[in-house]
Amino acid sequence: MQLVLEKRAERSNTIALVSPLIAIGLTIVTMTILFAILGKNPLLALHAYFIAPLTDGYSLQEIAVKATPLVMIAIGLSLCYLANAWNIGAEGQFLIGAVAGSWIAVKTQGTDAGAWVLPAMLVLAAAAGALYALIPAICKVKFGASEILTSLMLVYVADLFLDYLVRGPWRDPHGFNFPTTAEFDPVATVPLLIEGGRLHLGSIIALLVVAAAAILLGRTIKGFEIRVVGAAPRAARFGGFNANQLIILTFAVSGALAGLAGIIEVAGPVGHLQPGISPGYGFTAIIVAFLGRLNPLGILIAGLFLALTFIGGEQAQIAMKIPLDVTKVFQGILLFYVLACDSLILYRFKLVFPSRQVTRGAG
């Protein structure tokens, strides 16, 4: 008796709908076991992770703040992944966007620059993120170099470049030698939505991005091309779609969105440029993209859920001394279950009883 995988005649829509929920359920079961191994009360830990952040207004705002970069980056990545272009360097594009936007903020510091500063920062950050993402895309299209490896290598380069700037030319002279720029001027800061709160304009921009992506994928020829190139490359060639052009386009768009997310994070919740502005948003966004099934609305929900785990992880660390790395383990396990459950949309398990009759027809 053997358990084997068998291709379904057509994709199962039921499983497609429930698979993210099954994945989350399985992850929670696994986490319960992990908490027990760590010697923590699993029920209290799960409460700290998933319920506590939902019970007060501050944490709710904080979830939206954390979800903002995740959703923006993941929307861009989903376009790449749909077109079968593997951009995994969004973290680097995020950092380069943050650096480029900060350049304006640093250079206009203390001057009477007007309201043009913030819009200029956003535009420059998006452009820089797009250009940075174009490096692996062009290397792929022109030379055939693996975009997976080149885009990832550029993350380390971006990280070191940012480190150099805030320790060298851009360091705040009154910052007690800490590696950070001075606090940005009010004109270079993303405005808050609620006075004294945490929610900022970036969350609105993220929602607009979600809406734009939904229209692009659902209502335009370009969106159709992206989906066909990824799902059926041969059909796309017959249809005359240019796969290389789409790699360039999706990389540029995802780089722009990551760069925009970067400057919004720096000019919003952080307020200045410093190392460690991202707790791995660029990588977590990969999970968000898959958990949201590469669908804009799904990504919005998935982004909020992953943001919840970030906040829950912080609260669990404070309240129960659960290490922050548990959050990363949680995210990794979740991605595994999501991918595994997604496999069941296309395949199903079948019990096989090996016998002469069966093997004769093999091959």
Max CA distance (Å), the chain = 86
β partners of residue 347: 7
Q: Evaluate whether 345 touches 19 at the Cβ level (below 8 Å).
A: yes
**According to CB under 8 A, which one of 68, 103, 157, 206 is a site residue for other proteins?**
157
Q: Does 139 bind other proteins (CB under 8 A)?
A: yes
**According to CB under 8 A, which one of 148, 193, 270, 304 is a site residue for other proteins?**
148
Cβ-based nearer residue to other proteins, 110 or 361: 361
Q: Does 176 bind other proteins (CB under 8 A)?
A: no
DSSP class per residue in 232-288: -HHHHHHTT--HHHHHHHHHHHHHHHHHHHHHHHIIIII-S--TT--SSHHHHHHHH
**According to CB under 8 A, which one of 18, 149, 243, 304 is a site residue for other proteins?**
149
Q: Does 347 bind other proteins (CB under 8 A)?
A: yes
Site string for other proteins, 73-112 (x = CB under 8 A): -------------x-x------------------------
Stretch that binds other proteins, among 2-10, 52-60, 67-75, 191-199 (CB under 8 A): 2-10
In whole angstroms, what is the distance from residue 228 CA to residue 362 CA? Answer: 33
Cβ-based nearer residue to other proteins, 184 or 290: 290
Q: Does 161 bind other proteins (CB under 8 A)?
A: yes
Q: Does 39 bind other proteins (CB under 8 A)?
A: no
Q: Does 126 bind other proteins (CB under 8 A)?
A: no
Amino acid at 334: L
In whole angstroms, what is the distance from residue 207 CA to residue 290 CA? Answer: 18
Q: Evaluate whether 28 touches 295 at the Cβ level (below 8 Å).
A: no
| 179-194 exposure pattern, b = at least 16 Cβ within 10 A, e = fewer | bbbbebbebbbbeeee
DSSP 8-state secondary structure symbol assigned to residue 44: H
**According to CB under 8 A, which one of 146, 220, 242, 245 is a site residue for other proteins?**
146
C-alpha 355: how far from its chain's center? 48
Stretch that binds other proteins, among 60-68, 100-108, 300-308, 334-342 (CB under 8 A): 334-342
In whole angstroms, what is the distance from residue 173 CA to residue 232 CA? Answer: 56
Cβ-based nearer residue to other proteins, 119 or 323: 323
Per the structure block, which two tokens stand in for 222? 């370009």
Q: Does 308 bind other proteins (CB under 8 A)?
A: no
Q: Which residues bind to other proteins, rule: CB under 8 A?
A: 4-7, 86, 88, 135, 139, 142-146, 148-150, 152-154, 156-157, 160-161, 163-164, 167-168, 283, 286-287, 290, 323-333, 335-336, 339-340, 342-343, 346-347, 352, 358, 361-363
